[in-house]
Each structure stands twice: as C-alpha cells, then as structure tokens.
Amino acid sequence: MINGLFCKVFNLVPRHERIVSRILGPAHAHLFTVLIGVAETAMAIWVMSGIYPRLNARVQIGVVAAMNALEFFLVPDLLLWGRGNAIFALLFIFLIYYHAFWLEKSPVSGRGVL
C-alpha cells in the first residue's frame, strides 16, 4: 500500500519514476508510474480483503518476480541496494508463499482457495 500509493501515485519517491522512465521510456513515465502505483494499491486492498488468497499470492509472486528481474538486469544502478534488492525480493516471495500455502492450509469459510 505504501509503496504503491505514497511512493508512486503521490510521487513521494521520484526514483520510482526514473526506474519506469529507463525501462519504458520517458514519454509517459509519469503516467505509467501512477498506473503501477494504482495497481499495487489495488493488490494491497485485495490482500486485505482475504478473497481468493492463494490466487492473490500467485499473482503477487509473479508480479514481484517479474518487476525485480527487469530492474535487476535493466536498472540496477537506480535500485536502493543495487542488485542486492533481489535478495529482499526473494525473501518477500518466500514470505508470501509461506503465508498463503503453509499457514493457510484450510480455506476460510466463504472464501475461495484458488
């Protein structure tokens, strides 16, 4: 929620827009950064809703892996910890996986288990 809404939508961390600019081009970097921030905020709301938690985890793992792979190869100089960001991304992916597939072994009543 913080990374999407405050850092990207409200542009409180301009480095995010520079990353988007280098990857997707400067012409529409601000728009794309805001759209990514809105998508991240929507993902956070989905997480908090508890609806289809395993599907959410799969989507979140895929997005985190893809975004971090792109940044690792295309803009490591703009990352907070350079290529070391990949370590934190992997830890976050394992945390998502652990929470969705190990801690939540039984589905919550009324909620999907996709």
Percentage of the chain surpassing pLDDT 70?
A: 90
Which residue range forms the structural domain that includes residue 8? 1-49
On whether both 45 and 60 belong to a single domain, the answer is no
On whether both 39 and 68 belong to a single domain, the answer is no
- Angstrom distance (rounded) from CA 80 to CA 69: 15
Question: What pLDDT shows up at residue 79?
Answer: 94
Question: What pLDDT shows up at residue 1?
Answer: 86
On whether both 45 and 55 belong to a single domain, the answer is no
Percentage of the chain surpassing pLDDT 90?
A: 85
On whether both 91 and 105 belong to a single domain, the answer is yes
pLDDT, averaged across the chain: 91
CB neighbours of residue 20 within 10 Å: 24
Confidence of residue 103 (pLDDT cuts 50, 70, 90): confident
On whether both 55 and 83 belong to a single domain, the answer is yes
Domain count of the chain? 2
On whether both 68 and 78 belong to a single domain, the answer is yes
On whether both 60 and 112 belong to a single domain, the answer is yes
The string of pLDDT tens digits covering residues 17-37 is 999 999 999 999 999 999 999
